[in-house]
Structure 1
């Protein structure tokens, strides 16, 4: 059956209104917090990033500067966030969650995760991914339209469609290696040693995807891999999953897709009944650490070394298989 554009527009508007109602955005407060929606979104964005400037928060929430100023002032008065001068630029103030704000964020995350889990857990994995892909595609289309200049009336192809794909993809070793090499060279100056180690590890792992305890997921946009995560269920011994190659292109950071990618991998670990999931990262990646800890990981070890050509402190995080009561 063919549906014309006018009907599709009306159908999308109808579903969008229902979605807003189901998520509770017509209420004065949301997520069981007693806070309005803009406050909740601000707390989530600041908590997820570790810290943000008011300008960055304005860009994330798509709110005007004056609105953000009032919002920030109210959250400071409520002792949900704190404000401090940047050590890099004295003219700039950084916003961080207070201890009270961290508790509010935990409450928000628990409420939201429970809401989504209750809705999608009866569905198949393919249906769950279909929901995510559809929402991500629609969000990207809205963003594309918002960023388009008024004179640009030509309809663009759906090049912003973002998908999470499972398993081997052509070029996966080179693309994931490039993402790691570029990111860590820019961040801390890693060179050929690090890039070679990533490529070697992937080359050894990819052929083992035929074993059911191993899996890899990629974020794909316009047939280009812009992110990845893998679970290696063999290299650390029986009952232990190794979370590897978790990386996200800079332009996708802060969109929430990294959270979805991590949760997808951890759901796989729990389905496979791994007793523990281990990962290694570097000290100082505070946003990543917050994400790991929100998902049940705890810091177990720290040690310094120069194996990547620079003095770095590596960290080992461990997550145990959730009990049924906490799943």
Structure 2
């Protein structure tokens, strides 16, 4: 990617946003910045001017003029902050909430019209591309409406998601070719066609209403042995402890159904996953260089004694 690529995208997106506000009715009677302030106040439980200035990267004097205008119009009220008396808490009045609600309704209608022109089959790809841009460029905010991470059984379509996300993420992060996608597809297909639900299981980690992680526990060829496979956590969901929860789910399940040991195969370049395995007591038992997925790698075998100390 070049600077010109980024600038071309910016021009396209700026023009697109301008088209959404054709006729300048979307934010009327407010400016775009004033509408942003109303939006932040409507979606913040407790905020003050300093928070707004930081979140929206606004000049202090400019923000002060906006807040004064809103206060004169009866849209906001200010009072000493309960957290810090030196600060002034800013909150919307009923009139302010009504104004913010109208702006939000217009925005939803405008974006809805835009999405209406997108083929339904392409909307998931569009959403994924948007999430990817936010993740790579450092958006640290959680998805709107995000909450607790839930581990659940796969729903229809989730097994296909496991294949697609493994292939896409490992290609993006490690440059692996489609040989890896073929391997994952075979693992998933074997599981879908012939697995014992009493001895094998798949978990999907769901956050903000969408899958962000997965792992499998399947029977190994060795008697009394289970194999952990296809541990994955989406980039924007890393740091939430999802990988640890998925590995815990596998170990507790395997121990509960009577397996004596749990094994896995990984590669040395997957350092974050290796640290998770080590925390759970897995021990490295073998290493071997190999050429796979278009790369020179070092494969690793790890083992966990489910009825011992793991050492």
Q: What is the TM-score of this pair, normalised by structure 1?
A: 0.49
2:201 corresponds to which residue? 215
Quick check: 2:213–2:242 contact (8 Å CA) kept in 1?
Answer: no
Counterparts of 2:218 and 2:191, CA distance in 1: 8
How far apart are the structure 1 equivalents of 2:193 and 2:44?
39
The reply on whether 1:196 has 2:182 as its aligned counterpart is yes
Secondary structure of the equivalent of 2:285?
A: strand
Mapping of residues 128-147 of structure 1, within 5 Å: none
Matches within 5 A, 1:269-308: 269-308=254-293
Counterpart of 1:311 in 2: which secondary structure?
strand
1:174 counterpart = 2:174: no
Residue 250 of structure 2 is matched in structure 1 by 265
Q: Is the 8 A contact 1:301 1:317 kept in 2?
A: yes
For structure 2, the 5+ residue unaligned runs are 1-42, 57-89, 105-142
Aligned residues: 183
Matches of 1:313 and 1:250 in 2, distance apart?
23
Cα displacement string for residues 128-169 of structure 1 (whole angstroms, at most 9, x for unaligned residues): xxxxxxxxxxxxx999x9997699977999731344343331
Q: How large is the RMSD of aligned CA atoms in angstroms? A: 3.3
Match of 2:212 among 210, 226, 238: 226
Cα distance change, pair 272–142 in 1 and its aligned pair in 2 (3 A): farther
**What SS does the aligned partner of 1:194 have?**
helix
2:291, 2:297 within 8 Å by CA — same for their partners in 1? yes
Preserved CA contact (<8 Å) 2:203 2:215:
yes
- What displacement does 1:278 show? 0.5
Match of 1:183 in 2: 169
Per the alignment, in what secondary structure is the counterpart of residue 155 of structure 2? coil
1:98-137 correspondence to structure 2 within 5 Å? none
Q: CA deviation at 1:181?
A: 1.3
Per the alignment, residue 310 of structure 1 pairs with 295
* TM-fit CA distance, 1:222: 4.4
- Residue in 2 aligned with 1:251? 236
The separation in 2 between residues aligned to 1:192 and 1:290, in whole angstroms, is: 26
Aligned partners of 1:142, 1:163: CA distance in 2, in Å? 22
| Alpha-carbon contact 1:231-1:242 (below 8 Å) kept | yes
Aligned CA distance change for structure 1 residues 243 and 142 (closer, same or farther; 3 Å):
farther
Indicate if the aligned counterparts of 2:152 and 2:206 stay in contact, CA closer than 8 A.
no
Q: CA deviation at 1:308?
A: 1.8
Alignment CA distance shift 1:296-1:196 (3 Å): same
Using the TM superposition, give the Cα deviation of residue 173 of structure 1 relative to its aligned residue in structure 2, in angstroms.
1.9
Instruction: State the TM-score, normalizing by the size of structure 2.
Output: 0.52
1:68-107 equivalences in 2 (<5 Å): none
Residues 230 and 246 of structure 1 are in contact (CA less than 8 Å); yes or no, is this contact kept in structure 2? yes
Compute the displacement of 1:178 (Å).
2.0
What is the Cα deviation at residue 298 of structure 1?
0.5
Residue matched to 1:118: none
Q: Distance in 1 between matches of 2:55 and 2:193?
A: 43
Task: Call closer, same or farther: CA 1:198–1:300 in 2, change over 3 Å.
Answer: same
After superposition, what is the alpha-carbon deviation per residue over 1:236-264, rounded to whole angstroms, capped at 9, x for unaligned?
23200100010000011111122112111
